[in-house]
Structure 1
Amino acid sequence: MHIGMIGLGRMGGNMAKRLRAGGHTVVGYDMSPDSGRDVTSLAELVAALPAPRVLWTMVPAGGPTDAVITELKGLLDAGDIVIDGGNTHYPDDRRHADDLAERGIDFLDCGVSGGVWGAERGYALMLGGDRAVFDRVRPLLDTLKPEGDYGLTLAGPVGGGHFAKMVHNGIEYGMMQAFGEGFATMMRSDLIDDPAATMVSWRSGSVVASWLLDLFENAVQTDPGLRGMPAVANESGEARWMVEAALELGVPTPATAAALWQRQTSRGGADDILRVVTAMRAQFGGHVTKVDEIATH
């Protein structure tokens, strides 16, 4: 198939490579002239593709995605397909689909997981939209997904793909938080000689064996205590959206929420909160904590 890839960063660029290796013709566009792009504008991109066209956008959620969708609406024809593979907030998908439908342009939303390893391992793809449109681009999806029976699903109607990816990322937050808490607990204990090696041993035969543990092994090979890692983890928004959606649906999500709060705390947002707590404890109970008395490990 022919496809236009919009956004050639770490994800989009690697996806384009995998598609080309699978025999598809990819025309790439990115705002950066150093991206290896094939064309210099969306208009050139559309002109370079045979009809009916397939455009896959991998740009940041929010304003950038809105701008791309709006511009494509004025460039594409009825029967063309736009796939949003970014981390768009799922309520925006319906708006994008309705906007494009005014010109007869079909729309799919696609949650993509696989990170920088996806070009080699394949990507887990979660799509939302019409089954007939999904089937039209199936050759592209089969090339992008991992080999085997899994890694691809039509999760539901428009919005379902990004909703599934939102939940996926919330689960990811909780899993990484649990591994981190286990590692920290072993680091503080005199009973564990090598916490890193202990966790790596779980890669085989354990019920918690996972690709995350494989990646953990990569990280600790040269830094077993992870002392070179900054104790800061940003949050990209999906877990926050999941907690919000779960609250609306009446679903308790304490593990996801705890992992989200921990990431926010790591960015320094809790410093002033804890100063207030410490000041109040000092006032009502004489609990004085000096900075140089705080234990460091």
Structure 2
Amino acid sequence: MQLGIVGLGRMGGNMRERLRAAGHEVVGYDQSPEVTDVASLAELAEKLTAPRAVWVMVPAAVTEATIDGLAEVLSPGDIIIDGGNSRFSDDGPRAERLDRQGIGYLDVGVSGGVWGRENGYALMVGGDQEHVARLMPIFESLKPAGEFGFVHAGPVGAGHYAKMVHNGIEYGLMHAYAEGYELLAKSELVTNVPGVFKSWREGTVVRSWLLDLLDRALEEDPELSSLRGYAEDTGEGRWTVDEAVRLAVPMNVIAAALFARFASRQDDSPAMKAVAALRFQFGGHAIHKN
């Protein structure tokens, strides 16, 4: 099958190579001349045979402009797939706008990171069944081999919604491992922290790919001494908590993991300064001054 891909970074570039290895014809466009196959979106459209399908893998901040640019060079009957981390609430209005031009739209949550080229990508798809069916050869080649790794989650917006919740869960899982690591590292008894995590990779209920990756990180740097305790968030965790508030769903773990990332960016927490001041005021507890 033929596919255009816009955005050839860590994810998009690897997706192009995985699809080519599966026998698909892929034409990629990127602003970086070192990796692009064509010089413009217009040339990308020219290289593809109608009805076209173009997969967008660009940062959320430029997704809207990129899709608008594609809409100018595509034709009725074509399909645009947004595989980036867009907010699900953007998908409905975007699909309606494209539908007025006769262009189909799918939103796809993509998980797999830099390992997807080798292992395959988990795909969560939102949109009309007819569009999903048309793109199934692409989805089958991108997903891992076997039964799992793909879902048609529902109508437009469902793919990004599912990926949002997926990433919220990821926040909680990562933070649980992180808290366990900190406690083990401070223990007077455990002398082989990396070995403990390695031992958990088989036969335990906490085994996972994230645990495998933490083991890999500890092999490279057993005390993680080369890293700062600073963690960004790309938005999905915030959106997940927003939805939990809107729907009155208790989400203690994911919310705590998100707030812990905020705390990681503070060199000297104002909140903890207030806690220290209060402890001193009511109990005379020791304080540390700069």
Which has the larger displacement, 164-173 or 268-277?
Answer: 268-277
**Structure 1 CA distance, aligned partners of 2:221 and 2:267?**
28
- The equivalent of 1:57 in structure 2 is 56
1:22 maps to 22
Of residues 182-191 and 139-148 in structure 1, the stretch that sits farther from structure 2 once superposed is: 182-191
Distance 2:271 2:251 in 1: 24
Q: Percent identity?
A: 52
| Aligned counterparts of 1:245 and 1:123: Cα–Cα separation in 2 | 25
Show the 5 A alignment for 1:1-297.
Answer: 1-34=1-34, 36-62=35-61, 64-268=62-266, 271-290=269-288
After alignment, is 139-148 or 282-291 more displaced?
Answer: 282-291
Distance in 2 separating the partners of 1:177 and 1:287: 30
Could you tell me how far apart the structure 1 residues matched to 2:42 and 2:286 are? 65
Question: Which 5+ residue runs of structure 1 have no aligned equivalent?
Answer: 293-297
**Which amino acid letter does the alignment assign opposite residue 52 of structure 1?**
P
Q: What is the CA distance between 1:275 and its match in structure 2?
A: 2.5
Q: Secondary structure at the match of 2:105?
A: strand
Task: State the AA in 2 paired with 1:84.
Answer: D
| Alpha-carbon distance, 1:278 to partner | 2.7
Aligned counterparts of 1:21 and 1:33: Cα–Cα separation in 2: 22
Residue 285 of structure 1, CA deviation = 4.1
- How far 1:245 sits from its partner (Å)? 0.6
Amino acid at match of 1:30: D
SS at 2:116 equivalent: helix
Structure 1's 136 and 270: CA in aligned 2 closer, same or farther, altered over 3 A?
A: farther
Mapped to 1, the partners of 2:97 and 2:51 lie a distance apart of 18
Deviations 1:135-190 (A, max 9, x none): 10000000000011100110010000000000000110000100111111111112
Structure 1: which amino acid aligns with 2:21? A
Quick one: structure 1 residues 291 and 193, their matched pair in 2 at CA, closer, same or farther if it must change by over 3 Å? Answer: farther
Cα distance in 2 between the residues matched to 1:24 and 1:206: 40
Corresponding letter in the other structure for 1:118 = G
For residues 188 and 269 of structure 1, the distance between their equivalents in structure 2, rounded to whole angstroms, comes to 21
Q: Deviations over 1:234-270 (max 9, x none)?
A: 1111011001011111111000000000011101176
- Taking a change above 3 Å as real, the CA distance of residues 96 and 270 of structure 1, as seen in their structure-2 partners, is farther
Counterpart of 2:52, as a letter, is R
Unpaired segments of 5 or more residues in structure 2? none
Q: CA deviation at 1:223?
A: 1.6
3-state SS of paired residue (1:51): coil
Instruction: Name the TM-score, length of structure 2 as normaliser.
Output: 0.96
Does the CA-based 8 Å contact 2:104-2:131 persist in structure 1? Answer: yes
Could you report, residue by residue, the CA deviation over 1:196-254 in whole angstroms, capped at 9, with x for unpaired residues? 21111111010111111111121111322222222111111101100101111111100
Counterpart residue identity of residue 17, structure 1:
E
Root-mean-square deviation over aligned CA pairs: 1.4
* Count of equivalent residues: 290
Whole-angstrom CA distance in 1 between matches of 2:234 and 2:111: 14
Task: State the 4+ residue runs in structure 1 displaced beyond 6 angstroms.
Answer: none
Cα deviation for residue 191 of structure 1 reads 2.1
Asked whether the equivalents of residues 277 and 287 of structure 2 are also in contact (C-alpha less than 8 Å), the reply is: no
Three-state SS of the structure 1 residue aligned to 2:146 is coil
Normalized against structure 1, the TM-score is what?
Answer: 0.94
Letter in 1 for 2:243: A
